[in-house]
Structure 1
Amino acid sequence: MLIPILKTLFIRDLEKLKVELELYRNEQNIWLVDKQITNTAGNLCLHLIGNLNTYIGAELGKTGYIRNRPLEFSSGPVPRTELLKSIDETIQMIDSTLDQLSEEQMANEYPQEVTGGKVSTGYFLTHLATHLSYHLGQVNYHRRLLDN
């Protein structure tokens, strides 16, 4: 029962991330740093793509994805079209990976210890969904504050 809920939430929020990036009137502002806002929308997008492709794709889907977390926060500017393409690829990965999971796997321990202790796969996927939502809100505020 949790799998279709999480799948819906991941896809909904990744689609919303695409909308947020498309709403920037000036594409250069996706990479704008101003005052105390140190994470750009572009870097947050790269971070979310890396995070989901690591913990869902590579770990659960065995996609072979290799993460370079420092580049998520130091890369840029990546063209908006490339960011949108990467989000679409992440949506496809989530769709196919979560379709492969069973409820039994959701109850089993997540293969990596990443939250300071051992947790179930279902718990960790819920954590990832809330992490996505948190940063999506930051992107929304970044756009509304800095894309005037």
Structure 2
Amino acid sequence: MLDSLSKLYDRDLLKLKSEIEAYKNEADLWLIKAEISNSAGNLCLHLIGNLNHYIGHQLGGTDYQRNRPLEFSDKNVPRTVLIEKIEATRAMLKSILPNLSSETLAQNHTEEFYGGNDTNEFFLIHLLSHLNYHLGQINYHRRLIN
């Protein structure tokens, strides 16, 4: 199961990288248009923060410190920095996911979600669907802007 999840996370983070690179004008990553409330740049920062917090820090024991409000308020982060953060997140996942034990997967996740009533395995699947939800938003944003 972890091998499949690792492949899916990597595939989708590569797609995130591709979407960020596909913006013709780098400044457009930060545009908000019509009723879209988040820019692609902010959604990218949010996904990076989300994965590094829940998988890197909570499951892998990294020293990542999340600043969730900054994920949505930071602006004009260079595309190169976003790409570096995506690549660092890919590397983090490749180092942590394969090393999670079946005991860790079976443990209840933190009380931050659903009162701690779901397993870490369930939460890893939830995080993958969260990644894809926002990846779709970024794709739509890019096509609307470009």
TM tier relative to shorter chain: over 0.9
- Conserved 8 A contact 1:50-1:72: yes
The match for 1:126 is 125
Letter in 2 for 1:116: Y
1:96 matched to 2:95? The reply is: yes
Give the aligned CA root-mean-square deviation in angstroms.
0.8
The match for 1:62 is 61
- Conserved 8 A contact 1:18-1:87: yes
Following the alignment from structure 1 to structure 2, what is the Cα–Cα distance between the partners of residues 6 and 53? 16
Output one character per residue of 1:69-101: Cα deviation in whole Å (capped at 9) or x when no partner: 000000011000000000000000011011210
Following the alignment from structure 1 to structure 2, what is the Cα–Cα distance between the partners of residues 119 and 4? 21
Structure 1, unmatched stretches of 5+, are: none
Letter in 2 for 1:4: D
TM-score, normalised with respect to structure 1: 0.95
TM-score, normalised with respect to structure 2: 0.96
Letter in 1 for 2:85: S
Q: Give the CA deviation at 1:115.
A: 2.1
- Conserved 8 A contact 1:3-1:103: no
Find the residue that maps to 2:62 and give its secondary structure: coil
- Percent identity for Structure 1 against Structure 2: 54
Output one character per residue of 1:98-130: Cα deviation in whole Å (capped at 9) or x when no partner: 1210223212212x1222222101000000000
The match for 2:111 is 113
Following the alignment from structure 1 to structure 2, what is the Cα–Cα distance between the partners of residues 84 and 103? 32
Structure 2, unmatched stretches of 5+, are: none
The match for 1:20 is 19
Q: Give the CA deviation at 1:6.
A: 1.0
Output one character per residue of 1:38-58: Cα deviation in whole Å (capped at 9) or x when no partner: 100000000000000000000
The match for 1:137 is 136
Following the alignment from structure 1 to structure 2, what is the Cα–Cα distance between the partners of residues 97 and 82? 22
Following the alignment from structure 1 to structure 2, what is the Cα–Cα distance between the partners of residues 50 and 5? 22
Following the alignment from structure 1 to structure 2, what is the Cα–Cα distance between the partners of residues 142 and 12? 20
Following the alignment from structure 1 to structure 2, what is the Cα–Cα distance between the partners of residues 73 and 49? 12
